[in-house]
Structure 1
């Protein structure tokens, strides 16, 4: 399988990048997974809410073997989460689990989580892969030598761009090869040097591949959320009228149709309508240059004093092209944009540090509404959270806190939808689209199923016809 980027960390206690997260789903099993509407469902364990601040998880009887032969028990679950909760270990997942007061075990199968506050979404936060307690105690290097209990086991990682795993049920080996350039990845596919690839391919390459004999191209609707983010402390982008003008100047429909070849769906919020707390009946910012110019004029900008902005994006060729189109559309409204592209590490570092006016990025694989606290609550300014635009709004904070405190799922969904409507008004982000998930393969590959969040679960059943 050809990958645009290699996994950075195969320890689920620390992994945050998309490729590592997807690979770790294959290597480790977690207590909880998600259904098609992103509601939590049992994976390793069933659960019951004993009280609003006490959840009891019971491990299933079968499929509990680590790849080193040890049996997965309640002690391993406790050790995994105790490690994450220890602030000295600096796990990036600690803040999401901050409501856990303590963890107790009873025998090999039962784990009790006691919380310091009620949270009806709590089971959904327990989707981190479980590690063996004895290896945690020995400070085993899971990041490079993973030991899990998932459907794939680790075999070798001989170099940064080549990872070898084995599917447990039949012994089939899989190599994950980093081929950063999309064109090179496709040439390798055509020559048979790789069998398949997923995502990170331009629409032109997909059209090209669809016409090639012996190659299959599949697409499905995606849930990964693409957006433009703003620095709310900046004298220009800190103005709501400026953000609204930008939203009205962008023609998302034209970009999706002509640049993306229909490979996305327009977004009005972080969660699509298929999510249990997803957007419903939100009015989009359709392109309206007259409104955009009027908003800019009301803020003191005109031809003699145009709005000038610096727009940062990654150096990926397709992302640069999308940003260039957006730059041109903003120019139609009288906004002068200085587009600057950087390697991923540089642009991501600038965004985390708040060194930007506007940027484009995506949230990948988000399932639970705790993302709203992490991204938009005023207490989540980096390094505590990912409120990178320094957005502060008392009404947003209140809605987040009310939704978190609610024990009624219907009321929670209502509050989160109200929150998303407010965010669309305040525009800390301009929602762009949910990009399709894409899978390309040689025609002797069969049985791969694309997931809306782009995970690699399709590898559990994929096979090659010999």
Structure 2
């Protein structure tokens, strides 16, 4: 089955001169990130593919775990990776078969078989970790093996997006002897058959450095250009990460540059640092516990949608690096509509007052907006202060904001402790389904009590039947219209993506794919101009 490439996701743009040449030397390429990786009671298994479901953790797993399918270098339809070939074997898109490459082996040299693939996938579904990625695989009914090299997935319902799901770490192939069948693997160890092996360095339960060394037993289509790459964490401090880059202590930084850093490297492209800008699929949104007061009343959520000025929010906090978003589905994805703008138009406190008055809601409505202090960059606090000001200035709301570290924040959100909370989303794969199902389907990422049967039982299955995603537009449009009316989530903005690298680093333009996934195997050290 062939799915169309995402419209508008063009090759990255390099701002400033890069180096020339290629190859690598014995010195590790060091990549900085503001992602925090911590083990705690709330987050016991940050790198177990049955548990991990955030961009930072997946960026580690993609280097170390092999998947049957993978997204190609510049985006587009998934292609075989651990598999030699894959495809639907029936006319109803309900049976998907893959034949493994010959010579596949884990990093310790043990062979990878179809039984290992079956074990890995069934383990994720069996454990079904709260807030984990099992929902991506929940449409699998039976996993069948035929000999050591063939695995067949029997699906409950047709799903043309299934190849994309097999390209995610949720379907990563793990070594069974290191991953218990019925419980999570705690800590920072990862054992797979991907292009790199991982050695983690942690201090007091927090990962400070992930060292990736080339896996000599790797067999696949990825071609690591460096023998050694290090990922260093600068949690909550993009400025420290930037200073390290400029001093040469690190070679590249990706997630997350601050708006000020992006502006600096854009306006002053000289020196030893290059900035790569490319279209992004990152979105930010407010979500609601639709059973919690005061937002259990749909009118309150609709009034918030009527008041929030996305354009002012994006420009004030993020400048040119973000654009207002009027749907869960980003503007560059096939099937996107401006559903929230079509429903509410321009921000209007007067219209919001009418909504609340018709519903009999007394004003001002008191509520608390929750955000995470250390997961999406330090600008998040300013973003939520701006949201609070917009709501309060209408006279219809009296809002407070509360920030919490990520390792506590996510656990509290899943327990239903927040009525209104902010989250971001980096897609698992570039298709509208992945901006809808994780929020609205059963066993969703938010653990949301919101359930719309038309969306779950009719429209999502309809959209998945269409291999040509343009033909899914009617179903996707109806979903987006329902979301705009019910407001279980309130989309805010869509961001671009950026990488800053020293000028002797080659492959920086490929360091992030269209879904903001790190591709460390693309990096090498060359000769600066």
TM-score class, shorter: 0.7 to 0.9
Contact 2:141 2:154 in 1 (8 A): yes
Report which stretch shifted further, 169-178 or 352-361.
Answer: 169-178
CA distance in 1, matches of 2:186, 2:448: 33
Corresponding residue number in structure 1 for 2:175: 132
Identify if the C-alpha distance between structure 1 residues 299 and 88 changes in structure 2 by more than 3 Å, giving closer, same or farther.
Answer: closer
Q: Select which of 40, 48, 51 maps to 2:87.
A: 48
Corresponding residue number in structure 1 for 2:11: none
TM-score, with structure 2 as normaliser: 0.77
CA distance in 1, matches of 2:32, 2:461: 44
Q: Select which of 445, 458, 474 maps to 1:399.
A: 458
Q: Output aligned runs, 1:56-71, within 5 Å.
A: 56-61=97-102, 64-71=104-111
Contact 1:437 1:453 in 2 (8 A): no
CA distance in 2, matches of 1:87, 1:351: 20
1:72 aligns with 2:134: no
Question: 1:205 deviation in Å?
Answer: 2.7
Q: Select which of 231, 236, 244 maps to 1:188.
A: 244
User: Partner of 2:412: helix, strand, or coil?
Assistant: helix
Q: Select which of 420, 424, 430 maps to 1:362.
A: 424
CA distance in 1, matches of 2:523, 2:178: 30
Question: 1:25 deviation in Å?
Answer: 0.8
CA distance in 1, matches of 2:297, 2:526: 55
CA distance in 2, matches of 1:26, 1:405: 29
Give CA deviations for 1:147-175 in whole Å, capped at 9, x if unaligned. Answer: 32222222453542111112454553212
User: Partner of 1:112: helix, strand, or coil?
Assistant: strand
Corresponding residue number in structure 2 for 1:114: 154
Question: 1:279 deviation in Å?
Answer: 0.8
CA distance in 2, matches of 1:348, 1:28: 24
Identify if the C-alpha distance between structure 1 residues 7 and 273 changes in structure 2 by more than 3 Å, giving closer, same or farther.
Answer: same
Give CA deviations for 1:399-419 in whole Å, capped at 9, x if unaligned. Answer: 345426746655544313321
Q: Select which of 209, 230, 250 maps to 2:308.
A: 250
Q: Output aligned runs, 1:329-340, within 5 Å.
A: 329-334=390-395, 335-340=397-402
Structure with more contact order per residue of length (Cα contacts < 8 Å, sep ≥ 6): 2
Question: 1:97 deviation in Å?
Answer: 2.5
1:375 aligns with 2:445: no
Q: Output aligned runs, 1:178-217, within 5 Å.
A: 178-180=233-235, 181-210=237-266, 211=268, 213-217=271-275
Report which stretch shifted further, 98-107 or 216-225.
Answer: 98-107
User: Partner of 1:21: helix, strand, or coil?
Assistant: helix
User: Partner of 1:101: helix, strand, or coil?
Assistant: strand
Q: Output aligned runs, 1:58-457, within 5 Å.
A: 58-61=99-102, 64-87=104-127, 92-127=132-167, 128-133=171-176, 135-136=178-179, 144-157=188-201, 159=203, 160-168=207-215, 169=224, 172-180=227-235, 181-210=237-266, 211=268, 213-276=271-334, 278-280=335-337, 282=339, 284=341, 285=344, 286-300=346-360, 305-316=363-374, 317-334=378-395, 335-367=397-429, 369=433, 372-377=436-441, 380=442, 384-400=443-459, 402-403=461-462, 406=465, 409-410=468-469, 411-448=471-508, 449=510, 450-457=512-519
Contact 2:55 2:426 in 1 (8 A): yes
User: Partner of 1:149: helix, strand, or coil?
Assistant: coil
Contact 2:307 2:394 in 1 (8 A): yes
CA distance in 2, matches of 1:394, 1:82: 27
Identify if the C-alpha distance between structure 1 residues 154 and 231 changes in structure 2 by more than 3 Å, giving closer, same or farther.
Answer: closer
Contact 1:83 1:89 in 2 (8 A): no
Give CA deviations for 1:21-59 in whole Å, capped at 9, x if unaligned. Answer: 011111122112346776544333222322343322112
Identify if the C-alpha distance between structure 1 residues 137 and 4 changes in structure 2 by more than 3 Å, giving closer, same or farther.
Answer: closer
Contact 2:310 2:325 in 1 (8 A): no
Question: 1:179 deviation in Å?
Answer: 1.2
Contact 1:373 1:400 in 2 (8 A): no
Question: 1:389 deviation in Å?
Answer: 4.2
Give CA deviations for 1:307-335 in whole Å, capped at 9, x if unaligned. Answer: 22111112243111010011111122112
Corresponding residue number in structure 2 for 1:4: 34
Identify if the C-alpha distance between structure 1 residues 178 and 452 changes in structure 2 by more than 3 Å, giving closer, same or farther.
Answer: same
The alignment's C-alpha RMSD in Å is 3.1
Identify if the C-alpha distance between structure 1 residues 455 and 291 changes in structure 2 by more than 3 Å, giving closer, same or farther.
Answer: same
CA distance in 2, matches of 1:365, 1:325: 26
CA distance in 1, matches of 2:144, 2:475: 32
Give CA deviations for 1:116-170 in whole Å, capped at 9, x if unaligned. Answer: 4443433333232212345557999695332322222224535421111124545
User: Partner of 2:97: helix, strand, or coil?
Assistant: strand
Report which stretch shifted further, 334-343 or 267-276.
Answer: 267-276
1:21 aligns with 2:38: no
Identify if the C-alpha distance between structure 1 residues 301 and 77 changes in structure 2 by more than 3 Å, giving closer, same or farther.
Answer: closer
Contact 2:428 2:434 in 1 (8 A): no
TM-score, with structure 1 as normaliser: 0.87
